[in-house]
């Protein structure tokens, strides 16, 4: 996983454990950022990390719901993270956080 993607992943993990981590405006931006993903990928990502009002769901359960193997589901989540991490929108958000 490249540095951009890893940074987004770390933010989502921290956000799950500390929901107050993101100011309301940044949370709003993150919500719009995730809308860049197809609906199934967006839902899987949000449930996997348990953010934006989504209950955290295990990788195995997500894979089962989508008829995938655990490995394929993890690849899908990693791919979704990467797709978001390389967007100009994410780059702008990282600059606002700094």
% the chain with pLDDT above 90: 72
pTM: 0.90
Structural class in CATH, domain 38-98: mainly alpha
- The percent helix, strand, coil of the chain (3-state, each to 5) is 75, 0, 25
- Spans of all domains in the chain: 38-98
The pLDDT tens digits of the residues spanning 47-87 come to: 999 999 999 999 999 999 999 999 999 999 999 999 999 99
Nearest alpha carbon to residue 33 among 72, 86, 76: 86
């Amino acid at each position: 996983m490249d540095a951009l993607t890893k940074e987004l992943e770390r933010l989502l993990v921290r956000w799950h454990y500390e929901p107050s981590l993101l100011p309301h405006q940044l949370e709003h931006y993150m919500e719009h950022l995730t809308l860049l993903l197809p609906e199934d990928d967006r839902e899987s990502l949000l449930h996997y990390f348990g953010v934006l009002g989504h209950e955290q769901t295990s990788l195995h359960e997500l894979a089962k719901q989508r008829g995938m193997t655990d490995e394929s589901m993890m690849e899908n989540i990693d791919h979704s993270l990467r797709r978001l991490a390389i967007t100009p929108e994410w780059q702008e958000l990282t600059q606002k956080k700094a």
